[in-house]
Amino acid sequence: MKNILFLLFLILILQSGLKAQVAVIVNKSVPQDTIKKTELLDFFTGDIKEWPDGKPVIVKELKAKSKVREAFYDYIGKNPSRMKSIWLKKMLSGEGDPPESITDDTAMVKKIETTPGAIGFVAKDKVSDGVKVLLFIQKD
């Protein structure tokens, strides 16, 4: 019985570890402290390209498939292949450029820190003091 309880406990611990916790981060120059889901969608689909102060929004995304990436796109309601199709359409219509793909969370944090107007997403535990967090997303 003790063994079974221990096993259940272990499964619960492991499951909580698998939850993807995502932080939506921006460069400190960005003139807002929170963000709505619809705004995120507008920025990542390229519909809106300016912050409220008129400065350009520079979108960055994670290159590799990961739980963080999956959780982020789940949250905004688009799968990666649909996003790719939206960005390609913007590019071939001359209406926008696809976001730069960043190799990993650490590189993403550095990029956001050093790029005015930048917005991206990383695992919650990778956030540094050099960026501003607008939103936490937790995927069960």
Partner 1 sequence: MNKIHAILILSLISTPKLFAQHDNSSLKIFGYFQSLASYETALNTFQGNDQPTKTSFSLQQLNIFFQKDITDKWRALVNVEFVNNFSSSRKWGSVDLDEAWIRYRANAYFNLKLGLLVPVFNNLNEIKNKTPLLPYIIRPIAYETSFENFIPVDEFLPSSTFVQIYGFLGVDKLKFDYAFFAGNTSNINTNPEFGQTGVDTTAALLFGGRVGLRANELKFGISFTKDNLNGNSELQRELALFPSISLHEVPRIRLGSDLSYYTDKFSFESEIIRVAYDDDINGAGFNKYFYYTTFGYRFHERFFAYFTYWNLFSDLTDFAINENQLILTKGESDMRIPGFGLTYNLNERTVLKAQFATIAIDTKIKSLGISQEANFNYYALAASVYF
Contacts to partner 1 by CB under 8 A: 36, 38, 41-42, 47-50, 54, 56, 58-59, 77, 79-82, 85, 88-89, 91-94, 96-101
CA distance 75 to 139: 8
Q: Where are the alpha helices (DSSP H) in 19-59?
A: 37-44
Q: Where are the alpha helices (DSSP H) in 1-140?
A: 2-18, 37-44, 67-76, 80-92, 105-114
CA distance 134 to 89: 28
Q: Which is nearer to partner 1, 16 or 93 (CB)?
A: 93
Q: How far is the CB of 44 from partner 1 (least distance, A)?
A: 11
Q: How far is the CB of 7 from partner 1 (least distance, A)?
A: 34
Q: How far is the CB of 6 from partner 1 (least distance, A)?
A: 38
